[in-house]
Amino acid sequence: MPSKLDPLSVPYRVGVSLSRFGWLLVVGTVSAGTQRLPLLVGLFGVVLLATLAYQVAYVRRFSYELTADTFDVYSGVFSRRSREIPYHRIQNVDVTRNVVQRALGIAELAIETAGGGETEATLQYLDADTADELRAALSRRKRGETEDGATEQTAREREALFSITTRELLLLGVVGLDLRLLSFVAVTLPVVLPSVSEATPLFDLFRVAPFLLAGLAVLALAASMVQAVVSYYGFELHREGDELGYRRGLAKEYSGTIPLDKVQSVVLTENMLARRLGYASVAIETAGYSPSGDSAGSQSAVPLAERDHAYALAQEVEAFGDPTFDRPPKRARTRYAVRYALAVLVVTGVATAAVRLVEFTSPVPTATLLAGLVLVPVAAHLRWANLGYAVEEDHFVARAGFWSRRTQVVPFYRTQTIAEQATIFQRRRDLASVVVDTAGTHGWSAPSAPDIDARRASDLRETLEARLQAALRARRDTVESAVQRIDSDTSGEVDSDTPDDRGGHDHGDERPPE
């Protein structure tokens, strides 16, 4: 029996599409003046009616159904589409509610699968409770339980993992500040300002600059804090069987599930400030869309937690042990120094040329930019010092970045392709990089071991390949033994010990035990 969307979706959807046309209306009114007002009102009426009719039809003709193996969605007003999503292919399920939706008591539910970059199915909108129930039902189906029989087979105890404290929430605002932006402003202001104050002697901007800078910093900090509070207010993470669940948000509420057996990688991020303060954030990458489809950068599973706690949480998802990182050889550092020195030279050159072209007398000769060369060794060392990779028992761990240090943990089992590469500059120093590709979808660079010794790079490539095959064999063995267990169980009851058939669900559907 297919289910329908909530009737309250109609007014909300009408509102949304009208607000999209709103600017047209405003432009029309302004340009037409008052004489043609009746025409405009009439036109508006027509648009309103058409939208209403379309949205009523959309909501009426939209239905979904939980069948035995698939989640079916039938949609479309003019061209109909029916989509069947196999339960075991579902990655993330997210429920979001903004302020208006909360007032109306409706919610949006989005289902992600690995295919494509787009959300596989979006239900706009369901009754808020129905949405939560549907998400729970999808989780149960994914685990292979049926609605009627063995619902309570696996004890689905809800284990709270993390909830954000007010302190952490405010710290998140501080840490979330883009340090690079601030330092850029701090460097450029003293260079640019004197010449501006020369041109407009009304204000001695040079003297105002420190205040300006401080004001800017405070403003940025406040904005960052507000953003942190709004998007991560009341953040909590819990574990329910083999899924993680989260809930967050002040005005717009987000909640959703992250399936642990679909995790592609776990990423720990600590920027410079967070490192100082002893905090880190954890992001969990699945092959679906980002867990909380927000702007890039705020897609963490745990936005900010004390470092040890963050590591413990990451270990909960992927038990990667305590990696000891291998650093690239020292000659890689020379390479970065050369690269940064060239960058400084190029910037100086461009600045000089620009100053010549626009005939702008800069207060200090552009050649002073060459002073940046002093920073080159420091920068090169910091980059080098933060690089590292480790081959653990089941995981490849890569770490990089000074401003924002990222530790990416990839299970061997999730490797898609492995590439060993060396540019001519790398080969000159007998270096090479190994890049491990996964099916994750974040815009981050792939986990890699850059600029390591060329021979070690070849070894690493071979090791990673062998480890993947070993992981595949191990996975296959557990699946086969699970299948055999089910086979020998003639009564047909589903085996109740779930821990070791994490992959079994995925597999069982494609090769059903005969």
Partner 1 sequence: MTTETPDRQTLDSGVRIVWGVGSLVGAVVLAGIAGAVGFATVERILRPAGVTFLVAAVLGVVYTLARYRAWWYAVEADSLHLSRGVLTYVHTVVPFVRVQHVDVSRGPLERALGLSSVVVYTAGSRGADVTIPGLTPERADRLQQRLKRLAIAAEGEDAV
* Contact residues for partner 1, defined by CB under 8 A: 114, 262, 264, 287, 415-424, 427, 432, 435, 437-442, 445-446, 461, 464-465, 468-469, 472, 475-476, 479, 503, 506-507, 510-511
Nearer to partner 1, 276 or 455 (CB): 455
**Helices 205-232 and 166-176, axial angle in degrees (round to 10):** 140
Quote the least distance from Cβ 435 to partner 1, whole Å. Answer: 8
Nearer to partner 1, 409 or 468 (CB): 468
Quote the least distance from Cβ 245 to partner 1, whole Å. Answer: 21
Quote the least distance from Cβ 427 to partner 1, whole Å. Answer: 7
Cα–Cα separations (whole angstroms), residue 4 to 81, 133, 186:
15, 14, 56
Quote the least distance from Cβ 423 to partner 1, whole Å. Answer: 4
Quote the least distance from Cβ 218 to partner 1, whole Å. Answer: 39
Nearer to partner 1, 122 or 416 (CB): 416
Chain Cα centroid distance, residue 445: 13
Residue 125, preceding bond cis, omega within 30 degrees? yes
Under 8 Å between Cβ of 501 and 509 = no
Amino acid at 320: F
Quote the least distance from Cβ 433 to partner 1, whole Å. Answer: 10
Under 8 Å between Cβ of 396 and 389 = yes
Who contacts 316 (Cβ-Cβ below 8 Å, separation ≥6)? 161, 239
CA–CA distance, 132 with 126 (Å, rounded to integer): 9
Up-side HSE of residue 46: CA atoms within 13 Å toward CB?
7
Under 8 Å between Cβ of 147 and 125 = no
Nearer to partner 1, 236 or 459 (CB): 459
Nearer to partner 1, 283 or 468 (CB): 468
CA gyration radius for the chain? 28
Question: Tokens 């930019």 — which residue?
Answer: 369
Quote the least distance from Cβ 3 to partner 1, whole Å. Answer: 29
Nearer to partner 1, 262 or 333 (CB): 262
Show the beta-strand stretches assigned E in 230-278.
236-240, 243-248, 253-259, 263-271
Quote the least distance from Cβ 459 to partner 1, whole Å. Answer: 13
The SS3 assignment for 56 reads helix
Look at residues 178, 181, 93, 170 and name the one whose alpha carbon lies nearest to residue 131: 93
Nearer to partner 1, 309 or 331 (CB): 331
Bridge partners (DSSP) listed for residue 457: none
Quote the least distance from Cβ 114 to partner 1, whole Å. Answer: 4
Phi, psi of 83 (to 5 degrees): -125, 130
Quote the least distance from Cβ 505 to partner 1, whole Å. Answer: 10
Nearer to partner 1, 359 or 510 (CB): 510
Nearer to partner 1, 62 or 289 (CB): 289
Q: Is 202 exposed, middle or buried (0-12, 13-18, 19+ CB in 10 A)?
A: exposed
Nearer to partner 1, 158 or 427 (CB): 427
Q: Sign of the C-alpha dihedral, residues 98, 100, 103, 106?
A: negative
CA–CA distance, 297 with 406 (Å, rounded to integer): 12
